[in-house]
Structure 1
Amino acid sequence: MKEKTIDYVLRATWMAVSKMYNEEAGKAGSTMATGFALLSIDPEKGTPSTALGPKMGMEATSLSRILKTMQEKGLIIRKKNPLDGRSVLIHLTDFGKEMRDFSKKVVLRFDEAVKENVSEEELKTFTRVASTITNLITEKEIYKEEIALNPVHKNE
C-alpha cells in the first residue's frame, strides 16, 4: 500500500508511546502495565480486583499476572472487601503510592509535551476522531456484514 492506513497510524503511534512508557518505567524497575495498574487503583479506598480488568481493558489472566508481580514487589496488598467477603480489594502500599506518583508524573509529562506541540483545536479534533473510532468498534458498526473470504486454490 502506498498510503498508510488509519490502522497503521494508530498502531505505530501506540507502539511508540508504549515503548516510551516502558523505557521510562524501566528507569524505576517497572513496566508500563504496572504503571497503568497503579494509576487504576484508588490510592485511598483501594479497588475491587474484579473492577480492575474492565477499567484497564485487560483480560483476567494478564491482570492476575501483573497483580502477582506487583504484590511480590511490595506495591500492593490484597484485603478482603468489608462490604462483600467474597471479593478482594487491592490497596497500594506506601511504596505503591510512591510508584503511582512516579507513573502519574510520566503520564502528565507526556500530556504536557503533546500540548506544547499540538494546538488545542488539533487535540479536540484528535479526541473526536478517536472517540468516533471507539464508538464504531464498540457499536459493531464496522463489520456488520461478513467480508467474503475467497481463498486462492492453487490446485484448481
Structure 2
Amino acid sequence: MSKDTTIDHQLRATWQAVAKMYNEQAANHNSTMATAFVLLNIDSENGTPSTSLGPLMGMEPTSLSRILKAMEDKGAISREKNPDDGRSVIIKLTDYGKEMREVSKGHVFQFNNKIRENVTEEEIACFFKVTSTINKLIADKLIYNEVNKKAV
C-alpha cells in the first residue's frame, strides 16, 4: 500500500497544508493559527471559563496556558475572577481581541466559501460522514483492540 493511498496520510497532509495556510494568514496579523483558534472559541460577549476552554478545543492545558499568556501580553484577552466560582477564571476578549476574532472569522469564512465553490454539497456531506465515522471509531476504541495489539 502506497502512503499516498492511505487515509491517515491524506488526513495529515491535508491538515498540514491547511495549518500552514492559516499560519501564513495569521502571521500577516502578528499572530498564529493557535491564537486565532482560541479567539474563535471564547464567547465574545460573556467570556469563557478557562477550565472549559481546553476541552472545548481539544488542547492540552500547558499549550493553552502558553497561548493565553501570549494573548494577554498582546492585549487580546483579560482574565477575570469567575463570580460563580472564585477558584476559576473567565477569559474575556478585549476590544483588540474582538477585532482579531473578526479577522480570524473572516479567514475561516473565506476558506470555507472557497471550498464550497469547488466541492459539491454531496461531496461535503460525504466528507463529514467519513470524518465523523473516523472520529467515532477512534472514540469507541474500535481501531486497535486487544487482538490487534498482540499482533504488533
Q: Report the TM-score range of the alignment, normalised by the length of the smaller protein.
A: over 0.9
Letter in 2 for 1:49: S
What are the residue-to-residue correspondences of 1:2-21 with 2, within 5 Å?
A: 2=2, 3-21=4-22
Letter in 2 for 1:118: V
Could you tell me which residue of structure 1 aligns to residue 83 of structure 2? 82
Which ranges of structure 2 fall in alignment gaps of 5 or more residues? none
Give the superposition deviation at 1:144: 1.1
Give the superposition deviation at 1:147: 4.3
TM-score normalised per structure 1: 0.93
Secondary structure of 1:130's counterpart equals helix
Which ranges of structure 1 fall in alignment gaps of 5 or more residues? 150-156
TM-score normalised per structure 2: 0.96
Which whole-Å deviations, capped at 9, do the CAs of 1:111-150 have from their partners, x for residues lacking one? 000000000000000000000000000110111121423x
Letter in 2 for 1:39: L
Higher fraction of helix:
2
Could you tell me which residue of structure 2 aligns to residue 154 of structure 1? none
Give the superposition deviation at 1:79: 0.1
Determine the C-alpha separation between the residues in 2 that align with 1:67 and 1:6: 33
Give the superposition deviation at 1:87: 0.5
Aligned match of 1:148 in 109, 126, 151? 151
Could you tell me which residue of structure 1 aligns to residue 140 of structure 2? 139
Give the superposition deviation at 1:106: 0.4
> What is the CA RMSD across the aligned residues, in angstroms?
0.9
Over the matched positions of the two proteins, sequence identity in percent amounts to 62
Could you tell me which residue of structure 2 aligns to residue 34 of structure 1? 35
Give the superposition deviation at 1:4: 2.1
Q: Greater Rg, structure 1 or structure 2?
A: 1
Between the two proteins, the alignment pairs up a number of residues equal to 149
Which whole-Å deviations, capped at 9, do the CAs of 1:61-104 have from their partners, x for residues lacking one? 00000000000000000000011111100000000000000000
Determine the C-alpha separation between the residues in 2 that align with 1:78 and 1:86: 12
- After TM superposition, the runs of 4+ consecutive aligned structure 1 residues lying more than 6 A away are none
